[in-house]
Amino acid sequence: MSHYQKPPELYEGLRLHQNENTGGCSPRVLEALAKLRADQIGFYPPYAGATDAVATYLGVPADRVTLANGLDEGIMALAVAYLRPPIGGPVPEAVVPEPAFEIFRFDTAVAGGTLVQVMPRPDFSFPLDAVLAAMTERTRVVFLTNPNNPTGVSMPLDAIRTLAGRVPHGAVVFVDEAYAEFAGVSFISEVASYPNVIVGRTFSKAFGLAGLRIGCLVGSPDTMDPIRRAIPVYSVNVAAAAAIQAALADLDHLNGYLRQVAESKALLYAACDRLGLTYVTSDANFVLVCAGDRTSELVNGAFARGVYIRDRSSEPGCAGCIRIGAGIVDHTRRCISVMEEVLCATR
């Protein structure tokens, strides 16, 4: 697709290790950034236009949307709001079904909470019974990801409903939907019925805005209030606020990228079948490939050839696994060619 831009030399090499959109953002985003005036950059940014655009896209009232400087900031603010130990009180607990976004673990520690990990099933299906068993009266956050990172496996929405009905009073269920555009499924339409559920979204992945850092949290205004107090004033910059409005006005660009992701995943599955590698069928924009004792040679060999893929062996249940970004078809074909070259050379 002609409107996808070649990454600049600053990012020499093919970055398939961070789940980024390697084709980049919509041209409308670049146009919006170019139109920013000196006074807009000199003043603190207004957020009404960006908030309204996000709310319209997600199908919720604007008062349920909180913008953040990347979803990472939203997650940290949630941890600060719900996992800080009260003076003289019990230490709050965060339940994290593994494998999971490492930020959940880091932010729990930074906020002073106690991490309660739930180990994965062999097939990575969601361990609802184990998560329920891990909850206690001290549970204040249950961290979920749908689809999961790094497996790409989706969880049943009914599991979210069950957890929302079982967490202690004052606790929240956080659903990280960073990859929801690729899965085509979201819990956002139900947040009005579940005031203790907060959904996080990012515009880094499907919309190609990772370098501008913008995401959001969606939930009941009362539940979101302590989180909003933990987010710094004006943390979303004026360029990001302009960019998200332009990106959301060009859903053709988004849909074109989603089609490329679907084709790229099919190509990766077929390549793994040829190369004797197993994989997990993914609802996200990446594929978890199980290379076993060939993991290091594949990751290092691809790196030497300018293709970056990520060893996820340190994640619970992911020994011998590599996560490979699936986006622009031409990039996927290059990655597959490198994988074939590396593995054939070692036979």
Give me the pLDDT at residue 80, please.
98
Same domain? For 235 and 286 the reply is no
The CATH code of the domain that includes 185 is 3.40.640.10
- Give the end of a domain, one of 221, 248, 275: 248
- Give the end of a domain, one of 248, 280, 307: 248
Residue 239: inside a domain, yes or no?
Answer: yes
**Rounded Cα gap, residues 33 and 13, in angstroms:** 26
Residue 329: domain span? 15-24+251-345
Same domain? For 317 and 213 the reply is no
DSSP characters for 166-197? HSPTT-EEEEE-TTHHHHT--SGGGGGG-TTE
Residue 3: inside a domain, yes or no?
Answer: no
Give me the pLDDT at residue 346, please.
62
The CATH code of the domain that includes 304 is 3.90.1150.10
Using CA atoms, how far residue 133 sits from 141, 163, 320, in Å, is: 14, 11, 29
Same domain? For 330 and 181 the reply is no
Give the long-range contacts of residues 118-121, CB within 8 A, separation 24 or more: 119/316, 119/317, 120/316, 120/317, 121/317
Stretches in the chain below the pLDDT threshold 50: 1-10
Number of separate domains in the chain: 2
- Give the end of a domain, one of 200, 216, 248: 248
Residue 8: inside a domain, yes or no?
Answer: no
Token pair listed for 249: 């006005």
Same domain? For 244 and 260 the reply is no
Give me the pLDDT at residue 347, please.
60
Same domain? For 93 and 188 the reply is yes
- Alpha carbon 219 to its chain centroid, in Å, reads 17
pLDDT digits (tens, 9 = 90+) for 159-175: 999 999 999 999 999 99
Same domain? For 197 and 211 the reply is yes
Same domain? For 229 and 244 the reply is yes
Same domain? For 256 and 243 the reply is no
What length is written for the chain?
Answer: 347
* 8-state DSSP, 315: S
Cβ(232)–Cβ(188) below 8 Å: no
Residue 7: inside a domain, yes or no?
Answer: no
Residue 338: inside a domain, yes or no?
Answer: yes
What's the whole-model pTM score? 0.94
